[in-house]
Chain A
Amino acid sequence: QVQLQQWGAGLLKPSETLSLTCSVYGGSFSGFFWSWVRQPPGKGLEWIGESNHRGSAKYNPSLRSRVTTSVDTSKRQFSLHLTSVTAADTAVYYCVRDLRGPFDFWGQGNLVTVSS
């Protein structure tokens, strides 16, 4: 069974950089894309971006200028960095296994709050 376990800072000040990492346990790692999804409080889901072990990455156009994702195959981990955060970036962030359409395994979610 595949499990995703994620971690990172939960409280940020405006203009800081959000950084989250997700470890993948079980299953294959290199053969998949890995995505990040966020959910502002009381709102719907928003795709942030995806990447794979070959360095191929795609990002949500609305976030592209601030987002970077990376994959470390040796550690079976992938990471998200979002720069210049504002209160609008307050959300629960999820790491997910991306089947280029369906997201079949999800991390537990991290609430990231941006507040001065």
Chain B
Amino acid sequence: SSELTQDPAVSVALGQTVRITCQGDSLRNFFACWYQQKPRQAPVLLIYGEKNRPSGIPERFSASSSGNTASLTITGAQAEDEADYHCNSRDGDHVVFGGGTRLTVL
């Protein structure tokens, strides 16, 4: 079972803003990381640390956190953003993942 909790599915209208959340006790001490996974592909790192984006990740992806909840925000969702989004964090010596959120762009 996942030790981080994510909503299984979220939808957003094209061009609108959507927030995907991730909850868990480990997030009180460690930053969440966010990944995008498209069908039959490996996940891609979107956000790490407090708000860092790897090279090539569009600025419309941003992150925030408060207490035990981390959030990924997509500002101006595009059709190509339709994908599964996963969060993870360290939890002491281990790593925990959320169950993933399927984003549908309407």
Which residues of A line the B interface, CB within 8 A? 35, 37, 43-47, 50, 58, 60-61, 94, 98-104, 106-109
If A45-B43, A45-B86, A109-B42 touch, does A102 touch B100 (CB 8 Å cutoff)?
no
Q: Are A47 and B49 in contact (CB under 8 A)?
A: no
In this assembly, does B83 line the interface, its C-beta being within 8 Å of a C-beta of chain A?
no
Name the distance in Å between A57's Cβ and chain B's nearest Cβ.
10
Q: Give Cα distance in the complex from A43 to B83, angstroms.
A: 14
> Which among A50, A58, A60, A103 is the interface contact of B88 at CB below 8 angstroms?
A103
Name the distance in Å between B14's Cβ and chain A's nearest Cβ.
26
Q: Are A61 and B94 in contact (CB under 8 A)?
A: yes
Lowest 10 A-B CB distances belong to which pairs?
A: A102-B48, A47-B95, A106-B42, A44-B100, A44-B99, A102-B33, A45-B97, A58-B93, A104-B45, A101-B90
Q: Are B48 and A44 in contact (CB under 8 A)?
A: no
Which B residues touch A107, using CB under 8 A?
42
Q: Could you tell me which residues of chain B, from 36 to 62, have a CB within 8 Å of some CB in chain A?
A: 42-45, 48-49, 54
Which B residues touch A104, using CB under 8 A?
45, 48, 54
